[in-house]
Amino acid sequence: MRIAFCVIATGKYGRFVGPLWESAQRFFLAGHDLRLVLFSDAPPPVRCDWVAIAHRPWPGPTLYRYHTLLAAQGRLQPCDYVFYCDADMRFVAPVGEEVLGQRVAVLHPGFCGKPACEFTYERRPESRAYIPPGLGTHYYAGGFQGGRTDDYLAAAQAMRQAIDDDLRRDLVAIWHDESHWNRYCLDRPPTVVLPPEYCCPESWPMPGRKLLALDKNHAEIRSP
Ligand code: GAL
Ligand code: MN
């Protein structure tokens, strides 16, 4: 299978690209035709399909991720599957075909096993990401997601529209794109739900961890 591995890394996030891609080549879908599609504001440190984009202050890069991906959809369409991965992540164990599906989401390690009333869904009815109390059974992490190319791009289009609708009314959902991903997954449930081992904080000693969300100094890295 041809797999697009999409990473957005502008500003200080550029430092993560080399180590992430090295780990992906070692552990992610070995035996498949894996291509890095890198969206960045600096020349790539590794061989890849590079899409030059401008840096935006945080949370711009994450909030506009679907806009960014869709602007290059012509490069993604020839692939069978598209995965998006945050830049500040690292594979530490093999990840195989269990991740291949139409729509693929990961359970957020902070909310797995917790009651839905504790989920940090967007709770303002004005937002297109709104999920009313009583609805929703899972809270998904935004850091790793994907699916069959057509399905994932359709999801990206729907979320781009919802985010734009919010912005037109001066609204940004509580967890940005992640809130919209959770709303989308409520409407169109993922066909593959991965356990939190696929987005595990580096500092959590979870057995069987496969993909780490790296510990970092948020204030330092998100400053312009
Ligand atoms: C945090 C995580 C954020 C967001 C939030 C949702 O643990 O760092 O990126 O996912 O949970 O409540
Ligand atoms: Mn992250």
Which residue type occupies 180?
A: H
Cα–Cα dist 162/177, whole Å: 10
What integer pLDDT is reported at residue 223 of this predicted model?
86
Name the active-site residue from 97, 178, 202, 220.
178
| Backbone angles phi and psi of 47, in degrees to 5 | -70, 130
pTM of the model: 0.97
| Angle between helices 149-168 and 177-187 in degrees, nearest 10 | 120
Classified as helix, coil or strand, 69 is helix
Which residue CA neighbors atom 10 of ligand 1 most closely? 141
Tell me the CA–centroid distance for residue 47 and ligand 1, in Å.
31
Between CA 67 and CA 77, with CA 73 as vertex, the angle to 5 degrees is 150
Closest by CA to 39, choosing from 24, 57, 54, 27, is 54
Report the pLDDT value the prediction gives residue 220, as an integer from 0 to 100: 84
Nearest Cα to Cα of residue 9 among 50, 70, 200? 50
Q: Which residues contact 101 (CB under 8 A, 6 or more apart)?
A: 147, 148, 190, 191, 192
For the Cβ of 110 lying below 6 angstroms from any atom of ligand 1, the answer is yes
Q: Which parts of the chain register pLDDT below 50?
A: none
- Whether 120 lines ligand 1, by a CB cut-off of 6 Å, is yes
Is 178 part of the annotated catalytic residue set?
Answer: yes
